[in-house]
Every structure is written in structure tokens, then in C-alpha cells.
Amino acid sequence: MKKKLWKIFVLLLLLGITAACQPKTASLSAKAAWARPGSAGGNSAAYMILQNSLDSPDALVSASSDSADSVEIHMSSMDANGTMMMRPAGPVELPAQSSVELKPGGLHIMLIGLKDDLNTGGTITVTLQFEKADPLTLEIPIQESAP
Ligand SMILES: [Cu+2]
């Protein structure tokens, strides 16, 4: 009986150590990411919901991808004549304990000068750079519309 208790004690100790060594849950994350199909030499755009689960604000500063000549953060808006326009935006503020949606007609990650075709069903790798948090590399699925 005494031996069994000892075993349980060791097991609990090991579990405790394992739990303490687990990486912390990501402070910044992205969900529901998707990017539009595109052709080599053309452009595409990626969208997602960025979540900041921290108690302090951060900001999306820039993005990069090996699959495009350049990557910019853009904001789409309607001009006085009803024409859709877009302009560079950012840094994108990510307030504490909140999420920010990048979506068609609003904020998006502009993929300029695609190096290869982006076909539905494929993916594109994009890395997001934040003011404080570590960079976030996403494998973004190519699809016609939001997931
Ligand atoms: Cu754009």
C-alpha cells in the first residue's frame, strides 16, 4: 500500500513538471484565414480574424510571403463616386482582449506580384509581424470566399 502511494506521488510530480514545461498559449492568433485565387504575376488578398488574448495591446506592423514580390497591409474604402479604392494601412491596432477582422471591403493583406498561381485548394504561406509579439506564420488556404 505504501509503495502504491509513492508511485502515485511520483506520477503527480512528473505530471506537474510536464505541465510547467508546456509552451504558453499563443498570445496572438489568427483564425478563419483565407486568400483569393490568383495568377502568377497578378495580385491576391488574404483575410483573417486576428485575436489578441493578452491584457496589453499590440499591433500588426507588416506581413511577408516568399510567394509574392511584396506584401502590404491595405484598407479598402468607397470614394465619393462609389468607386472601390484601397490604400496602405497600418500598423493595425490590436487592442487587448479583442479581435480585429480583415475582410473583403475592409482591411486585407495585399499579395502583390504572385510568383506562382494560387489555385483553389492550395495554400500560401504568409508571416505576420507584430509590434511586440513574435511573428506568426500562417498556412492560408486558397478559396473563393470566406470559410
Ligand atoms: Cu489591397
C-alpha of residue 133 to centroid of ligand 1, in Å: 24
Task: Please state, in angstroms and rounded to a whole number, the distance separating the CA atoms of residues 69 and 58.
Answer: 26
Query: Of 86, 85, 98, 1, which is closest to residue 50 (Cα–Cα)?
Result: 98
Mean pLDDT for the stretch of residues 29-41: 97
Mean pLDDT for the stretch of residues 18-29: 62
The structural domains of the chain, with segments of one domain joined by +, span 26-141
37, 86 contact by CB (below 8 A): no
Tens-place pLDDT, residues 52-101: 999 999 999 999 999 999 999 999 998 899 999 999 998 999 999 999 99
Residue reference for cell 492568433: 29
Task: Please state, in angstroms and rounded to a whole number, the distance separating the CA atoms of residues 101 and 51.
Answer: 9
Residue reference for cell 514580390: 69
Task: Please state, in angstroms and rounded to a whole number, the distance separating the CA atoms of residues 35 and 9.
Answer: 51
Question: Dihedral, CA atoms, 86, 101, 99, 79, nearest 10 degrees?
Answer: 40
C-alpha of residue 87 to centroid of ligand 1, in Å: 7
Question: Dihedral, CA atoms, 51, 53, 59, 60, nearest 10 degrees?
Answer: -30
33, 45 contact by CB (below 8 A): no
State the fold for domain 26-141.
Immunoglobulin-like (2.60.40)
pTM for the model:
0.81
C-alpha of residue 41 to centroid of ligand 1, in Å: 15
Tens-place pLDDT, residues 97-120: 999 999 999 999 999 999 999 999
Task: Please state, in angstroms and rounded to a whole number, the distance separating the CA atoms of residues 91 and 52.
Answer: 15
**Integer-rounded Cα radius of gyration of the chain:** 21
C-alpha of residue 78 to centroid of ligand 1, in Å: 13
